[in-house]
Amino acid sequence: MGSPAPQGRALLVALTPESRIALGAPERDIARFHVSREHFEIDRDDAGCILVDRASTCGTIVEGQTVGDETRGGTLSLRDGDVIIVGTSRSPYAFKFRVG
């Protein structure tokens, strides 16, 4: 994992063809980003960017750590270079979080 995400430009970079389709481009500049109303969002706090799982069925994986599930949501501070997988480890929706 990289260093904490500073306040500034934040990007999601598609790591799979499915992720590219979901973003509509190879990467997307984000200020506040929702994958869906039910899954997760990326938001900012005083320290940088945080991923908020919204009690999604399978959770969200960030650098191998599951955040949230269908019975509870969860939050995690994001760091530059973190890989985010939507759902289980078999999900084709994988992204890299970048700041700069």
Strands (E), 1-100: 10-14, 27-30, 33-34, 40-45, 48-53, 60-62, 65-67, 74-77, 83-86, 94-99
Residue corresponding to tokens 């919204």:
54
The token pair at 92 is 């084709």
- pLDDT tens per residue across span 50-74: 898 888 888 899 999 999 877 888 8
Give the chain's residues under pLDDT 70: 1-8, 31-38
User: pLDDT at position 1, please?
Assistant: 45
Tokens representing 66 are 């599951």
pLDDT on residue 36: 58
Query: Please, are residues 64 and 82 in contact by the beta-carbon 8 Å criterion?
Result: no
Do 99 and 10 meet the contact criterion of CB atoms below 8 Å apart? yes
Tokens of 15: 């790591």
Domains in the chain (CATH in brackets) are: 10-99 (2.60.200.20)
Query: What are the residue ranges of helices labelled H in the chain?
Result: 17-23
Residue 44: predicted pLDDT: 79
